[in-house]
Chain A
Amino acid sequence: MAFADGELRGEELDRFQARLASEPGLVREVSEYLALQLIARQMAPREPADYEWDRLREDIAHQAGERLSWLLFTGAVLGLIVTGVIGIANSELETLPKTFALGAILGLGLLLLMTLRARLRVLPYDPYRKVER
């Protein structure tokens, strides 16, 4: 792929860049090619510990422990946030500060969602996440 290898010049490069701007499928193809190039230049052999990591990841007890811990943690954090919001909503604060506090929490939550959306949108085009070490 001449574009990814930096071999396109002048008019050819402009034409290809114009196609990239309008063809998401082509952008994905270029990203996949770049990811392959990245993997190809990381040819270091696996280390002995990697095999033990693999075995650990396949271990049912380990998987269950990990899932349970994440479930407990994220559930509790979400619960705390919801409890906090309800607490503020039911508090004896005056209407204006209460509105500002709830607005700030809602705004932050919305901002997080939008940031997450943007990240998920560009994730398939980020070849560097395939780099291991």
Chain B
Amino acid sequence: MIVVTTETVVGRTIESSLGLVRGTTVRSRHVFKDIRAAMKNLVGGEVEEYTKLVAETREQALDRMIAEARARGADAVVGFRFATSEVARAAAEVVAYGTAVRLDGKSAGTGTS
């Protein structure tokens, strides 16, 4: 599945648009990680616990969006974006969205960009 942030896929022609696809998830860390993160907040520097949390959330949202695009028979997702919001303290919410498209006759690639 090709996933690009641009409106087109370079070198390919968009045959048809299959509409909006999105993946959403909200994840949290357990309370002990929150306590450790609170300590790191006091002394500064990267809070790895939250870096990991946001990264996990981002990847899951991306995978869910790709799964929806595949279910619609898409070859690619164009105009891909991430959006975040806060629904609960110490929880990360990420929405991954884009437009699923079918590309011209040639088979689709497998990378994400």
Q: What are the 6 tightest A-B residue pairs by CB atom distance, in nearest-first order?
A: A6-B70, A128-B56, A131-B56, A131-B55, A128-B60, A133-B55
Is A30 at the interface (CB under 8 A from chain B)? no
Q: For window 35-57 of chain B, which residues contact chain A by CB distance below 8 Å?
A: 35, 48, 51-52, 55-57
| Contact A70–B67 (Cβ < 8 Å) | no
Chain A interface (Cβ within 8 Å of chain B)?
A: 6, 34, 38, 41, 70, 73, 128-129, 131-133
- What are 22 A-B contacts defined by CB distance under 8 Å? A6-B1, A6-B66, A6-B70, A6-B71, A34-B63, A38-B59, A41-B112, A70-B32, A73-B35, A128-B56, A128-B57, A128-B59, A128-B60, A129-B56, A131-B52, A131-B55, A131-B56, A131-B59, A132-B52, A133-B51, A133-B52, A133-B55
Compute how far the CA of A73 lies from the CA of B32 in the bound complex, rounded to whole angstroms.
10
Other A-B pairs, 8, CB within 8 Å; known A128-B27, A131-B52: A6-B66, A38-B59, A128-B56, A128-B59, A129-B56, A131-B55, A132-B52, A133-B55
Chain A, residue nearest B66 (CB): A6
Compute how far the CA of A34 lies from the CA of B48 in the bound complex, rounded to whole angstroms.
23
Compute how far the CA of A6 lies from the CA of B1 in the bound complex, rounded to whole angstroms.
9
Compute how far the CA of A41 lies from the CA of B52 in the bound complex, rounded to whole angstroms.
15
Compute how far the CA of A6 lies from the CA of B68 in the bound complex, rounded to whole angstroms.
10
